[in-house]
Structure 1
Amino acid sequence: MNKRIIALLVAASLLILSVATSLFTTDFTDSFTKELEGQLDTGTLDEKSIEGTDMSNRIARVEVDGVIQDTGSPSVFAQETYNHESMMQQLEQIKEDKSIKGVLMVVNSPGGGVYESAEIYDKINEIKKSGKKVYVTMKNMAASGGYYISAPADKIFASRETLTGSLGVIMQSMNYKELADKYGVKFNTIKSGAHKDIMSPTKEMDAEERKILQSLVDESYDQFVKVISDGRHISQQEVKKLADGRVYSGLQAQKNGLVDEIGLEEDALKALKKDIKSNDAEVIEFAPTDSIFGENPFAAQSFVKKMMGNDDLAAIKELMSKRQGTTPMYLYGE
């Protein structure tokens, strides 16, 4: 083979390599940019088989872990364990999948937003209406909104050590008017109506404003009571005796009717398999796809932590998670 042919082959190889590298770099850069902006398409959910071979009678395991709050599409900077968008996608996919006969919802949450909790509650009811069984197993905590989303389940399991209850609504704000007055700090507020700055930290709340906010809390509380009453088949009068905001152990919750069985996740799964009449039901989980990081050990979160420092990320998260305005919450431990 003469030198001219060798040179042509080398040139062709370099051209192919250059084009391939360019295409990969362009695609990777575009995906990375979208990942940073939280704009990746998360509409497709992959399934991961955990156990079992009966694919005609499947059980979907869904985990609600963390504060139930919609913080938008996650980016590489997010550290939250709970993703509301993904949760709603999972529940919708479960509802539409005829091979899924049961749902095992693993709850480990202090609750969260009134709206988000209601969204999950409504979707659970839709799943039940489609003919599927829904079982809940409570881990360390399933309080307030964590209980709200559990209430419609066909059966609720908790361990003796589970902390649940905290049935009710809370709305809080900080007021530093006296501190500001002490140091001579003045605030100038221009508003369009008498109550536009309701719950402002720079002024005392008057009786009328407290009445307005109490009406919002009472409305959400009444809905919470109805949810428990409907789900647990307890009169609203009896529910109100339990729903004074206190927390219960798993054992106490079983005794007062808020929980059905004392047991762990494996106990709930075994009972659900028996209920759908398939001891070898395939158990699956869902996971969002189209992430450039996937399950890579050098995932974005770890990378950012190393680059910025965990303390910096924690500070950013705290600043960004501060709630502003009058937001009722089904939340324990706020």
Structure 2
Amino acid sequence: MNKKRWIALLAAAILLAISLVINSAFTILQSDFTSGFDDWTGTEQTALSEHVVEPGNGSNRIAVLNVDGAIQDTGEASLFSAAGYNHDLFMEQLQAIKEDSSVKGVVLKVNSPGGGVVESAQIHDKIKEIQDETGKPLYVSMGAIAASGGYYIAAPAEKIFVSEETLTGSIGVIMQSVNYGELAERYGVNFVTIKSGPYKDIMSPTREMTDDERALLQEMLDSSYEEFVDVIEEGRDMTEAEVKEYADGRIMNGRQAVEANLADDFGFEEDVIQAMQDDFDLAGGEVFEYGASENWSSLFAMKAGSFFGMDMETKFISDMLSQNSGPRMMYLYGEN
């Protein structure tokens, strides 16, 4: 390992240590402050805040929600990465919409390549719950990309709007790992594995996968794929054959999505809001977005990379140090 790599590894380790200290300290301080404030006011505080997009009637409101980035439950941002999609926070926003009687309609902005199978299903099921139990309509405004899991969560919408340049589709499931066994062998690295059963190290990065293992995983992926197809069948009122004509993993643009009945019309966010106001007699009502205050850790994260001059190699090493997740099924377009 050359000098540059040693420096990168050391810098990443230092950043990880600082991140752990900051996150722990902020959690303790935030907990003490929130607890004290609640005791003083006699109320329970929430992380949600509202930002008015268009002022208007407060009893006939449209809520605008954002799914921006990979749909994964990764928790709060660490020192290495600024805050992105926060799954717990988004689920909290959906629950707030369900309980808020002043919210008469929802516009969901999706700019995501997809993400985890479980997280996508949680969002989809919560949206269906809101629609079924409250009757509140939901329109989707797709951004630059709304693929795979990004489409999965959009499927229940009453209407889906795209731009002609939107990348969508990629209907399917993927599971990936890296096999570096041959490379390690070339450098004299040996791996010792002790396991309780023949499949315990399935998808191990140190050896080739067996046919039996591949068949087991393929069965799992096929099941999740069929669930994806069922979601689109129900949400888009299409037959299984109609969905599967396009559910082969292909990516498509907005024009192709409309032609395939996977989207309804063209328009940007303002057009989608206007369409909901017109369709559900909500003109003159307030339009707002949910937001949440950044903590000190996420604010520090935005400056950490530039402060330490983190290059791509350092970032790669730091990601390896801060993430420890095995292969899993994903509704995802692009790199895993």
TM-score using structure 1 length: 0.83
* Per-residue Cα deviation, 1:39-98 (whole angstroms, up to 9, x for no partner): 797843111111131111101111100000001233555424211111111111011000
Residue 325 of structure 1 corresponds to: 326
**1:89 and 2:100 correspond:** no
- Alpha-carbon distance in structure 2 between the residues aligned to 1:219 and 1:37: 45
- Alpha-carbon distance in structure 1 between the residues aligned to 2:90 and 2:317: 24
* Correspondence for 1:34 among 26, 37, 58: 26
Residue 116 of structure 2 corresponds to: 113
Q: 1:305 to 1:322 in 2, by over 3 A?
A: closer
- Alpha-carbon distance in structure 1 between the residues aligned to 2:199 and 2:253: 41
Residue 27 of structure 1 corresponds to: none
Q: 1:250 to 1:31 in 2, by over 3 A?
A: closer
Count of residues in correspondence between the two structures: 302
Q: Is the 8 A contact 1:37 1:75 kept in 2?
A: no
**1:258 and 2:267 correspond:** no
Residue 252 of structure 2 corresponds to: 248
Residue 197 of structure 1 corresponds to: 201
Residue 301 of structure 2 corresponds to: 301
- Alpha-carbon distance in structure 2 between the residues aligned to 1:156 and 1:191: 48
Shift of residue 262, structure 1, vs aligned partner? 1.2
SS at 1:204 equivalent: coil
The answer to which of 188-197 and 233-242 deviates more is 233-242
* Correspondence for 2:179 among 172, 175, 179: 175
Residue 50 of structure 2 corresponds to: 47
The one-letter amino acid paired with 2:66 is E
Residue 136 of structure 2 corresponds to: 132
- Alpha-carbon distance in structure 1 between the residues aligned to 2:207 and 2:135: 53
- Alpha-carbon distance in structure 2 between the residues aligned to 1:38 and 1:67: 27
SS at 1:57 equivalent: strand
Structure 2: gaps (5+ residues): 1-21, 35-44
Shift of residue 264, structure 1, vs aligned partner? 1.2
Q: 1:262 to 1:292 in 2, by over 3 A?
A: closer
Structure 1: gaps (5+ residues): 1-29
Q: Is the 8 A contact 1:61 1:284 kept in 2?
A: yes
The one-letter amino acid paired with 1:324 is S
Q: Is the 8 A contact 1:254 1:260 kept in 2?
A: yes
- Alpha-carbon distance in structure 1 between the residues aligned to 2:87 and 2:30: 14
- Alpha-carbon distance in structure 2 between the residues aligned to 1:184 and 1:76: 35
- Alpha-carbon distance in structure 2 between the residues aligned to 1:321 and 1:154: 40
* Per-residue Cα deviation, 1:193-228 (whole angstroms, up to 9, x for no partner): 000010001111111000011011111101100000
Residue 190 of structure 2 corresponds to: 186
Q: 1:288 to 1:81 in 2, by over 3 A?
A: same
Q: 1:230 to 1:317 in 2, by over 3 A?
A: farther
Larger relative contact order, structure 1 or 2 (CA cutoff 8 Å, min sep 6): 2
TM-score using structure 2 length: 0.82
Residue 7 of structure 1 corresponds to: none
Q: Is the 8 A contact 1:38 1:76 kept in 2?
A: no
Residue 153 of structure 1 corresponds to: 157
Shift of residue 325, structure 1, vs aligned partner? 2.6
The answer to which of 31-40 and 280-289 deviates more is 31-40
Shift of residue 181, structure 1, vs aligned partner? 3.0
Q: 1:76 to 1:204 in 2, by over 3 A?
A: closer
SS at 2:110 equivalent: strand
* Greater Cα radius of gyration, structure 1 or 2: 1
- Alpha-carbon distance in structure 1 between the residues aligned to 2:258 and 2:181: 45
Shift of residue 275, structure 1, vs aligned partner? 2.0
The answer to which of 44-53 and 71-80 deviates more is 71-80
For 1:203-222, list aligned pairs within 5 A.
203-222=207-226
The one-letter amino acid paired with 2:58 is M
* Correspondence for 2:101 among 98, 101, 104: 98
Residue 40 of structure 2 corresponds to: none
Structure 1 segments of 4+ aligned residues over 6 angstroms from their partners: 36-42
SS at 1:242 equivalent: coil
For 1:222-233, list aligned pairs within 5 A.
222-233=226-237
Residue 10 of structure 2 corresponds to: none
Identical positions, percent: 50
Residue 5 of structure 1 corresponds to: none
* Correspondence for 2:125 among 122, 132, 143: 122
Shift of residue 321, structure 1, vs aligned partner? 6.7
SS at 2:245 equivalent: helix
Shift of residue 316, structure 1, vs aligned partner? 5.8
